[in-house]
Amino acid sequence: MKTTFLDFEQPIAELEAKIEELTSMQSNSDPSGDGKGVDLSDEIARLRKKSATLIKETYAKLNAWQISQVARHPQRPYSLDYIREIFTDFNELHGDRYFADDPAIVGGMARLAGEPVMVIGHQKGRDTRERQYRNFGMPRPEGYRKALRLMRLAEKFQLPVFTFIDTPGAYPGIDAEARGQSEAIARNLYVMAELKTPIICTVIGEGGSGGALAIGVGDVVTMLQYATYSVISPEGCASILWKSADKAPLAAETLGITANRLTSLGLVDKVVAEPLGAAHRAPEVMFESLRASLAESLAEVRERSLDVLLNQRFSRLMSYGKFKETRAR
């Protein structure tokens, strides 16, 4: 598949176009394949190297706004990609048992390195039709209630839960409100705080606000290098506080939504490095490093007894927040 280039990747795009041009020139000039055509392979190799360097340089100094575009890249691997590549024997389970099945959240049982687990994730769509079907990864209450049901199931059968976060946010729609979007999110926060089985959360793309957090409370919170996690989208924040969506780059910077920034604030435990030029350029490399990270996290939480696990999870939740304390009055 051809790579889709982001705005800030235009120099890379031009270089890649040139490489492609030369490659096709080379094969056209030598249709018989007898080696009598023009030899451009040195030039192509030189440009390939240059392109790799350019990608490396560009990605070494991405700002928060650029990272948020990478996090939303249309070719970025989605939850089902990770689930299918990292886990085996995935059986998808559907529906909240009350109202409907929400395709914006997927989940089911699977195995990680042979061990049975529960996986749950937001799911975005690849093409226009699927995007619509998945509602752009924006769940309705039934999606969160399906996730809740699967978590309860995991608790009952002592399966560790892996969640994959990738959503612009919970769906802001009339039907979603009528069916209790707030309650659905709130209930998940409550249950995840006390669920008697390990929970390992990974932000793989966009961590959009309450809709992300609703499957994001756990024992280990991991972010991929170019994922973002924010209380509000940079565009939303800009239009409220700066009264102009054009200020989104500034808002992205100010909100501190990147993996590195959130790690330094103590809100994220681990950052998994992405391959050169982000996950979509070499998905199989990404799958492999995330697989290793998840296995390691599982081994870590497995060492804790259930009491210790729950106490640590609770203390961690209670430790969230920065304030000053004067002497009690």
Query: Which residues of the chain form contacts with other proteins (CB under 8 A)?
Result: 170-174, 176-183, 185-187, 189-190, 192-194, 209-210, 213-214, 216-217, 229-232, 237, 240-243, 251, 254-257, 262, 265, 267, 314, 317-318, 320-329
Cα–Cα distance measured from residue 105 to residue 124, given in angstroms and rounded to the nearest whole number? 9
Cα–Cα distance measured from residue 242 to residue 101, given in angstroms and rounded to the nearest whole number? 38
Cα–Cα distance measured from residue 272 to residue 123, given in angstroms and rounded to the nearest whole number? 20
Tell me the closest approach of the beta carbon of residue 264 to other proteins, in angstroms: 11
Nearer to other proteins, 74 or 173 (CB): 173
Nearer to other proteins, 32 or 319 (CB): 319
Q: What are phi and psi of 200, to 5 degrees?
A: -120, 115
Nearest to 112 by CA among 271, 309, 293: 293
Tell me the closest approach of the beta carbon of residue 265 to other proteins, in angstroms: 7
Nearer to other proteins, 76 or 179 (CB): 179
Nearer to other proteins, 65 or 242 (CB): 242
Nearer to other proteins, 253 or 288 (CB): 253
Q: Which amino acid is at 110?
A: A
CA angle in degrees (0–180, nearest 5) for 89-125-206 = 90
Q: How many CA atoms, within 13 angstroms, populate the side-chain half-sphere of residue 49?
A: 6
Tell me the closest approach of the beta carbon of residue 92 to other proteins, in angstroms: 26
Tell me the closest approach of the beta carbon of residue 228 to other proteins, in angstroms: 10
Neighbours of 73 (CB within 10 A): 19
Nearer to other proteins, 11 or 256 (CB): 256
Per-residue 3-state assignment (H helix, E strand, C coil) for 291-316: HHHHHHHHHHHHCCCHHHHHHHHHHH
CA 199 to chain centre: 16
Tell me the closest approach of the beta carbon of residue 216 to other proteins, in angstroms: 8
- Compute the chain's Rg from CA coordinates: 22
Cα–Cα distance measured from residue 130 to residue 50, given in angstroms and rounded to the nearest whole number? 36
Token pair for residue 138?
């924006």
Nearer to other proteins, 265 or 276 (CB): 265
Tell me the closest approach of the beta carbon of residue 56 to other proteins, in angstroms: 28
Residue 6: partners with Cβ closer than 8 Å, 6 or more residues away: 66, 69, 70, 73
Tell me the closest approach of the beta carbon of residue 288 to other proteins, in angstroms: 28
